[in-house]
Every structure is written in C-alpha cells, then in structure tokens.
C-alpha cells in the first residue's frame, strides 16, 4: 500500500506508508499526533495563552501552522483507518454470505 500523505507545505507527498502497515499502527500514530496537537493547542489558551500571545506574530503564525499540519495529518490517518474499517466490514459480510 503506497498511500501518499499530503501536507500543505510540500508540492508532493512527503512520505508514503509502508506496504505492510497495519491498522493498529495507523491508530497508534493517529493517537500520538492528536495528543501532540492537544498539548500544543493547550499552550494557546488560558494562562499559557498569555505567553503565546506575547510571542512575535511570525512565531505565532508558524506555531499555528504546525498545529494545522498535525491536524491535516490526523485527518489523513483517520481516513485511512476508516477506509480499512469499512473495507473490513465489507469483507466480513461477504464471508458471512458464503
């Protein structure tokens, strides 16, 4: 499986998944990226947000750009997991008919 992951920065996919990647690995990567995004966004609000708002505007922009890229990657990973889940459900239904 050579599924390209798209990101806003590069003109072409930055990397592709290994042919033998399993769904659990995808879910692990998705969970990790969502936890990282949650931690990064926590720094933009409440008391921590005060420090964020004191940062130079360019640094704030880059920080939020990184958050957006993680969100895009998480969306791509979720689509792959969902695709496998639906494909697996179709396979199970087909086996039950036989």
Higher pLDDT, 10 or 15: 15
pTM, 2 dp: 0.73
So what's the pLDDT on residue 71? 96
d(CA 11, CA 22) in angstroms, rounded, equals: 27
Burial call 26-35: b when 16+ CB within 10 Å, e when fewer? beebbeebbe
**pLDDT digit string, tens, across residues 29-58:** 999 999 999 999 999 999 999 999 999 999
């Amino acid at each position: 499986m050579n599924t390209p992951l798209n990101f806003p920065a590069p003109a072409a996919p930055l990397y592709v998944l290994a042919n033998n990647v399993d769904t659990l690995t995808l879910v692990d990567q998705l969970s990790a990226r969502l936890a990282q995004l949650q931690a990064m966004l926590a720094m933009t609000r409440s008391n921590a947000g005060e420090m964020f708002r004191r940062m130079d505007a360019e640094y704030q922009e880059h920080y939020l750009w990184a958050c957006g890229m993680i969100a895009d990657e998480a969306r791509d990973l979720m689509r792959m997991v969902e695709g496998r889940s639906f494909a697996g459900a179709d396979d199970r239904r087909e086996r039950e008919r036989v």
